[in-house]
Amino acid sequence: MIYRSLGLMSGTSLDGVDGAICLTDGRRILDFEGTFFRPYSASEQAVLRNVLGRWPEDGDFLDAKKVIHSVHLEVINALPEADLIGFHGQTLNHDPGNGRSFQLGDGAALADACGKRVVWDFRSADVAAGGQGAPLAPFFHFACAKVLGAHAPIAFLNLGGVGNVTFVDPSKFRPEDDGALLAFDTGPANAPINDFLLGRTGQDFDMNGALALSGTVDTAVLEAFFRNEYFAKTPPKSLDRNDFIEIQNMVEHLSDADGAATLTAITVASVYAAQAHFKEDPARWLVCGGGRHNAAIMNGLRNRLDQNVDPVETVGFDGDMFEAQAFGFLAARVVAELPTSAIGTTGCKSPVCGGQISDPK
């Protein structure tokens, strides 16, 4: 069965909701179709920021749910040709070490509101099977490597609030095959930079990396940060947006420009450190997420990595919609009862098909 599957993504950067249609049977990507982005207003961002870090038992989520459902519904209505919805929800907390991950949003309610089948709660089954519950885009990255007709390994790097990387061996037949994928979170990406600038300047990101490019990296902070045991830990491993919250205290004595430069350098160094876990060097790096627009980050990666580092647009993909397309693809896999994660991506004991399916009443 081929679906026009609409993936919905609201990331930890809280910029808004991406919607993108993937034409797929859950195995192959046949095409990418319409996209739509609905930014969160400042007041909506404030409501969502207020519940970050909470667990289901921690209180009232009514206002946050209203924001999430209403904005996601706007995106669904903007792309009426979709016949299947992949709804990620908004991650509020992620603690795989204790077998927990919390994405706010009710897929059943969204199905009733839009009148379409909704696949949601992608992470719970993986966590229950001993996995990290993240990252989940790697199976999509494998399909993208097949679209490209790649023969040599590719590293897909997503720089959102947190950074994550997928090493793809396209010589393998299926994404769940042994050695086909290695994926894990690299470390902090845009979230610490955005939080730092919001507190200092009221701006919620460093446009084009201009402020970081004007500053000087504090190498003492950089070295101290990389004493964190996470970077030596063998994958699988994943992070919550707030796992490195102490980073803000480490740069509080720096100027705006030097703080931005240092946080940016940490992002770059996290990616550089990640390649130590690869079984071989990738032929190239393809970058998606907001970080690819940051010249300071991209220049830093090109200076540190030995391979070409390019935004995914250079091979015809849409870097702004890549994660949304991923959840459209994953929704079709769930309906087809195909795995969405494996030991090489999340560390689950065996391949897992994760996700609830809700049909409208």
118/191 same-domain check: no
297/154 same-domain check: yes
Neighbouring C-beta atoms of residue 233, cutoff 10 Å = 11
Per-residue confidence (pLDDT) for residue 341, from 0 to 100: 98
284/175 same-domain check: yes
Per-residue confidence (pLDDT) for residue 147, from 0 to 100: 98
42/93 same-domain check: yes
124/102 same-domain check: yes
| Residue 70's CATH number | 3.30.420.40
pLDDT tens sequence for the chain (361 residues):
999 999 999 987 788 999 999 999 999 999 999 999 999 999 999 999 999 999 999 988 999 999 999 999 999 999 999 999 999 999 999 898 888 999 999 999 999 999 999 999 999 999 999 999 999 999 999 999 999 999 999 999 999 889 999 999 999 999 999 999 999 999 999 999 999 999 999 988 999 999 999 999 999 999 999 999 999 999 999 988 888 989 999 999 999 999 999 999 999 999 999 999 999 999 999 999 999 999 999 999 999 999 999 999 999 999 999 999 999 999 999 999 999 999 999 999 999 999 999 999 9
The CA distance from 230 to 74, in Å, is 38
Per-residue confidence (pLDDT) for residue 288, from 0 to 100: 95
Exposure of 360 in the CB half-sphere (CA atoms within 13 A):
11
Give the chain's length: 361
296/168 same-domain check: yes
26/108 same-domain check: yes
Per-residue confidence (pLDDT) for residue 224, from 0 to 100: 96
227/126 same-domain check: no
215/303 same-domain check: yes
- Which amino acid, one-letter code, is at 321? M
Tally of structural domains, the chain:
2
80/198 same-domain check: no
The CA distance from 327 to 112, in Å, is 20
Chain-centre distance of CA 40, in angstroms?
18
37/160 same-domain check: no
Domain that holds residue 105: 3-132+324-342+350-358
163/288 same-domain check: yes
Q: Report the SS3 class of residue 78.
A: helix
Q: Can you list the alpha helix ranges (DSSP code H) found in the chain?
A: 42-49, 62-78, 107-114, 124-128, 138-148, 190-201, 210-214, 219-225, 247-250, 256-274, 295-304, 322-335
Per-residue confidence (pLDDT) for residue 241, from 0 to 100: 80
Per-residue confidence (pLDDT) for residue 96, from 0 to 100: 86
Q: Do residues 289 and 207 lie in contact, with contact meaning Cβ atoms separated by under 8 Å? A: no
Per-residue confidence (pLDDT) for residue 97, from 0 to 100: 84
- Strands 3-10 and 84-95, by their bridges, are parallel
Residue matched to tokens 């609409």? 6
Cα separation values, 53 from 57, 135, 198, Å: 12, 18, 18
